[in-house]
């Protein structure tokens, strides 16, 4: 398959608040904020460690300590989010950290 690596990704013109709300809609709960970074920078910033913990608590098939999801091993938080929620969720999280 041919992929043009020079073509930039489609720009997302959503504000951080809109991205945070969209992520909420995708994952089904309020994403945790990193209060210190958010307060210091006036930017919404996700607490990715807490998010991973919450995801592990909500999905018994995802073990955050053993890095497993169902029958798969070596699953990073990004891998899990991509498998469970898709590319849009991954991109929103990247944009909000």
**pLDDT, tens digit (0-9, with 9 covering 90-100), for 16-25:** 999 999 999 9
Does residue 12 or residue 3 have the better pLDDT? 12
Q: What is the pLDDT of residue 5?
A: 42
Q: What is the pTM of this model?
A: 0.80
Taking residues 82-86, report their average pLDDT: 97
- State the burial class of residue 34 (Cβ atoms within 10 Å of its Cβ: 0-12, 13-18, 19+): buried
């Amino acid at each position: 398959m041919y992929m043009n690596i020079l073509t930039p990704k489609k720009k997302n013109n959503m504000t951080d608040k809109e991205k945070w709300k969209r992520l909420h809609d995708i994952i089904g709960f309020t994403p945790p904020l990193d209060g210190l970074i958010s307060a210091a920078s006036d930017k919404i910033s996700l607490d990715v460690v807490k998010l991973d913990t919450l995801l592990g608590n909500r999905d018994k098939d995802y073990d955050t300590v053993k890095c497993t999801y169902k029958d798969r091993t070596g699953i990073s938080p990004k891998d899990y989010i991509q498998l469970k929620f898709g590319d849009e969720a991954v991109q929103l999280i990247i944009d909000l950290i």
